[in-house]
Chains A and B, each alone.
Chain A
Amino acid sequence: MALLSNAAVLLGKELRTEFRSRELLTTTVVFILIVIVLFSFTFDPTSDESRRFAPGLLWLAFLFASSLMLQPCFLREQHNDTLSALRLSVSDPFAIFLAKLAANTLFLLLTELLLLPVFAVMYNVPVLHVLHWLVLVFFLASLGISISGTALAAISAQARMRELLLPLLLLPLLTPILVASTEITKSLLDRAPFVQWKGIGFLAVFDLVFLTALWLFGEYLLEE
């Protein structure tokens, strides 16, 4: 119970500081918007072509944007050594991870949902009829990105080449998520949409495995 209550208190702090500064949301929304708009000029956004290329492009934009979003989550705690204060205050260090990955998932999901209508319009892809499935895929993939990304952000924050290290570690690790999410999204945006259960199962298992690993070894990632 203490774990969940600490995580809830910390999540409140993460949301409050972000909605006060809007630093992460603004950066990622602008980045994804630029990618979506720029690529819409590179090929004819007829429905067929969009259905072939757009899902991969969308997830690539989400992936790069997530690395921008994840970078500061532990770097910010180093500014005044607030991470030490958190470690001294919480009963279980996993609460720190739980709050940060929940906040990152929420921010990423919010960004994705904000930009989905823009994507649908620019690429001429109807999404309303499969919206609930897309939300599920976005959620599972965002959770996976946030779990592994938060863990790697904790590691890279203590390294010398921290700005370079996170994308270097993160992007290869997230390739399976990128492939699965792209495939599921492609099948959902098809003329005859269908749900790739195998892909959704894969995302759920990925999330579960990495969450368990973080729960078991997260404490060591926070040590100086």
Chain B
Amino acid sequence: MSQPAISPTGIRFQNIEKRYGGLCALRKVTLEIAPGESVVVAGRNGSGKSTLLRIAARLVRPSFGEVSFTASAAEGTAALPRTGFVAHATMVYDELTAEENLVLFARLQSISNPAARVEGLLREVGLYERRASLVRTFSRGMRQRVAIARALLSDPSVLFLDEPATGLDPQGVAWLAETLRKLRDAGCTMLMSLHGESELSSLATRAIRLEAGSVLSDTRTGADFRSILTFADA
């Protein structure tokens, strides 16, 4: 897949706190993710990984603090960038076909020539032959491929990946790793929460470990970096 020009975008988390009633999911998280970085967030179940990603994607409003997008590592905020979000829920309609799902989201995102874009993506994810089948007839892995295609529709400059390999077979994980590698090399900023996908964690240029909603460690090199990625693979 040839990558179109991506305008590099960073993400700035300032003092992010998220409370659900009495439960504190995130505690004063401050992070600066540089444009083009590929960040793996690791941590135990309930450590706040998904909440962090959903706040970054503006799906969840933080109880305190602010998330902004930066045009460069320097100060200053950027306009809302094109983002893509892959979660363990597929975020596609079971009652629509793969093609109908992608055309729907392409039209909502005002993508020019949605039919051509959708056709290209369906070929890319290996579902072109099944484009007219209802998603509910697909296996879990095929649904996840549709979900990945949906996230890539807008050629995102920021990609949020919350356990993106859910349901994918080893070939699927390898394909996803290759696709993400191309995106990373094209300048796409990635924030991903992983669970047992070593091929995906090899894409990381930075690793963050969360525990009980706080950043326990944040590193780019060394033994700590490897130990966090190993944790993500555990």
Contact = CB atoms under 8 A, between A and B. Distances in A.
Interface stretch (A80-88, A137-145, A205-213): A80-88
Contacts of A80: 89-94
B28 interface: no
A223 B60 contact: yes
Contact of B95 (A9, A21, A87, A223): A21
Nearest to B103: A9
Contacts of A86: 108
B96 A84 contact: no
A52 interface: no
Interface size of A as a range: 20 to 34
B96 A89 contact: no
Interface size of B as a range: 20 to 34
A137 to B, nearest CB: 33
A129 interface: no
B192 interface: no
A2 interface: yes
B59 interface: yes
Contact of B110 (A2, A21, A223): A2
Interface in B102-157: 104-105, 107-110, 150
Contacts of B197: none
A20 B135 CA distance: 14
A13 interface: yes
Contacts of B108: 6, 9-10, 86, 89-90
A185 B223 CA distance: 77
A3 B150 CA distance: 21
Contact of A82 (B54, B93, B100, B110): B93
Contacts of A9: 104, 107-108
A85 B58 CA distance: 11
A16 B100 contact: yes
Interface string A55-77: 00000000000000000000000
B42 interface: no
Given A17-B96, A21-B95, A224-B54, A84 B109 contact: no
Contacts of B58: 88
A77 to B, nearest CB: 9
B76 to A, nearest CB: 23
Interface in B41-76: 54, 57-61
B15 interface: no
B7 interface: no
A79 interface: yes
A16 B103 CA distance: 13
Interface of B: 54, 57-61, 83, 85, 87, 89-96, 100, 104-105, 107-110, 150
Interface of A: 2, 5-6, 9-10, 13, 16-17, 20-21, 79-82, 84-91, 223-224
Given A80-B90, A88-B57, 4 more contacts: A6-B108, A84-B91, A88-B58, A224-B59
6 A-B pairs with the lowest CB-CB distances in the bound complex, closest first: A81-B89, A85-B91, A89-B108, A17-B95, A9-B107, A80-B90
22 contacts: A2-B110, A5-B110, A6-B108, A9-B104, A9-B108, A13-B93, A13-B96, A16-B100, A17-B93, A17-B96, A80-B93, A81-B87, A81-B91, A82-B91, A82-B93, A84-B54, A85-B91, A85-B150, A86-B108, A87-B59, A223-B61, A224-B60
